[in-house]
Chain A
Amino acid sequence: MSKHAKERNRRSACFRNRKPRERTEQVMKRCAAILMAAVTASAVILGGCSGSGSSAGQGGVQHVRLMVWAPSEDQSVDSGQWLQKSCEAFASQHPEYDIEFVYGVADEATAATQVAQDPEASADVFMYANDNITVLTNAKAAAKFGGIYKDEIEKTSSKAIVDSLKVDDYLYGVPFTTNTWYMFYDKSVFSEEDVKSLDAMLEKGVVSFPFTNSWYLPAFYIANGCTLFGDGTDESAGVDFAGEKAEVITDYLIDLMNNPNFVVDADGSGMAGLRDGSIKAIFTGSWDAGSIKEILGDNMGVAALPTFNLNGEEKQMMAYAGSKAIGVNATSDNMLPAIQLAVYLGSADAQKLHYELRNVVPCNTELLAQPEIASDMLVAAQNDTFDRTSILQPFVAGMANCWTPVENMGKGIRNKTVTHENSAQQTQAMSDAMNSDGIS
């Protein structure tokens, strides 16, 4: 068929179908009208949006809008709505405020970054992990605690944990738990005496360790006197993961890797091994406690980190430890109630409820002295780790360079590219990389 004939056909088709087309036209007009209405409506909604803030209501009661961010488990019905209960308890203690709570979801690991990105549009009160504290202070997003509130916090928490929330001697949050990792083991395999030494454990059963995860691997290096930024706060001191003290650890790790009873825990393989019975001990934190309890039941044991035998000498593994805290937004419109709420959420009452509802290990010294809490295995192990077998995870900016080199070392040893022949050179390379930001 020629081009013209085809076109003619098509044109006549248009005429034949005129009726339905008219209908389409009507529909389209109606659509256009609906669209217009929608645009107008949204304009009205936009115009109706007004800022929040506080205003004094009748009888001296101050109306306050507080936005609170917490992980979703703290707000879920299944795990008891700790946040809602605590906030309501706070509201009933403070009749001078008429508080409207707005809840948002942000877990401790990411909250600080989110607040720092845009403090004005963020929560008044939020929960964050202390390794992000410089993100907050650099953005001037966290309020400083002072006066009676600071005294209160210092009175009820250990010095180590308060220090973990201080930058240049200013306090930036109310601690509510410690944040570190330790050891979970099968009691039917290891005795309480065994778990004090990694070597004793390796003789009795399979142990899995997150060897390629740089939050865990430095435990061995730190054990033998390697340091990060002096005492952890002195950026100019740099990282000291070099020299003989580090090389012997690299050699030790190569041998450890060849131990048939040692398995690398990566991508959840440790947990899977625990589940199918091929692994008897793993290193992780309170977040996995529920799953492990389910697997091991009454055989679940929890302990602080063991020692390991380095050329005849017992060395104590040292974990990175930090804290989780409740912070207050520096741009909050309702600073006083926000600070009071933060202090309440970190108080003994709220920590106790948190522990009862979600097994969040408390850090309030009065609570820890109570026998029913002190006798909890998990609480004991976590606090023992924090007090005895850990260092405060440095949060100076240079720490950002310390993760990848250590991870690469772990992977190199696993893949057997780091050997006894090149361990000295590889250790030096790791140390150099940790001290460099990769640019200069």
Chain B
Amino acid sequence: MKETKQVSAKRRRFVNNTIVHVVLAILAVIWVFPILWVVLTSFRAEKGSYVSTFLPKSYTFANYARLFTDTTILNFPRMFANTLFIAICSCILSTFYVLAVSYCLSRIKFKMRKPYMNMAMVLGLFPGFMSMVAVYFILKALGLSEGGLIRLALILCYSGGAGLGFQIAKGFFDTIPRAIDEAAIIDGCTKWQIFYKITLPLSKPVIIYTILTSFIGPWVDFIFAKVICRANADYYTVAIGLWRMLEKEYIDSWYTCFAAGAVLISIPIAILFMFLQRFYVDGMSGAVKG
């Protein structure tokens, strides 16, 4: 009697697992499908934007080679370098802003603390590009909308508002016991020293999370880059470059290169993500548990 019960329980678990795995496998295929298609297209040897077969008839590396050699019309290497530079600079700046703001809001009591948090919450409800026209005219008035200063303008755009996105990091800092801070104060630490000697080393997960998000933002942004770069092709970012490849004049000959470019821009994000992945998971699950 007991044995049959065990067997049926085992069988039931097996059936359940099978169903779950089949469903998951189907979903995984659906989710990975578009990515796989872009990767396949990037290796496609046939030209043109439209194909009648799912799998390319022949494969080539020429699309990648062309991105880096045929630079007279769409200079992909330069766009890539521009974007990387802008993304790294804004990543450093906005990570600092986010962490500093979060720390202040988590640890320091001041009168404007609550109003500031409410204001940030309300401002956060509006899409960032709502302000793009104003931002453009301010940057123009400062003389940042032409020449090499466009890069600075973009860095300012991407990092300037970072202080409003403090919620997750603040939540994390809140979970670090105050007793640690108090002990540090007794040992003679200033607030700044507590921040970088005590809090930051304890907060690797959330630092990693902040770095990831603040790198991806500028890396994939299109709207601000388009508004600010205008006709200055030397300072285009990859997002504008890829968009241009799909214009009427270019799409037929550049479409496979577009796919190759799309694969390439995912590489830095993928590397960053794989490298920081374990921290990322930790970062989302809370900090010091008692």
Contact = CB atoms under 8 A, between A and B. Distances in A.
Given A46-B142, A271-B50, A288-B252, A11 B72 contact: no
A272 B231 contact: no
Given A7-B180, A21-B197, A268 B251 contact: yes
Contacts, number: 96
A214 interface: no
Interface in A1-49: 3, 6-7, 10-11, 14, 21, 24, 28, 42, 45-46, 49
B180 A267 contact: no
Contacts of A45: 149
A223 B210 CA distance: 61
Nearest to B179: A7
Nearest to A68: B231
B74 interface: yes
Contacts of B177: 3, 7
Contacts of B52: 272, 276
Contacts of B146: 121
A201 interface: no
A163 interface: no
B16 interface: no
Contacts of B118: none
Interface string A353-388: 000000000000000000000000000000000000
Interface in A282-301: 287-288, 291
A276 B255 CA distance: 17
Interface in A164-193: none
Residues of B contacting A: mostly: loop
Interface string A290-318: 01000000000000000000000000000
The 8 closest A-B pairs by CB, nearest first: A104-B231, A268-B49, A76-B72, A105-B233, A268-B50, A272-B50, A49-B143, A269-B50
Interface of B: 46-52, 70, 72-74, 136-137, 140, 142-146, 149, 152, 177, 179-180, 183-184, 196-198, 202, 230-233, 247-249, 251-253, 255, 288, 290
Interface of A: 3, 6-7, 10-11, 14, 21, 24, 28, 42, 45-46, 49, 69, 71-73, 76-79, 104-107, 109, 111, 114, 118, 121-123, 267-269, 271-272, 275-276, 287-288, 291
27 contacts: A3-B290, A14-B197, A14-B198, A28-B196, A46-B142, A49-B143, A71-B249, A72-B74, A72-B233, A73-B73, A76-B73, A77-B72, A114-B230, A118-B136, A118-B137, A118-B140, A121-B140, A122-B230, A123-B231, A268-B50, A271-B49, A272-B48, A272-B49, A275-B47, A287-B248, A288-B252, A291-B252
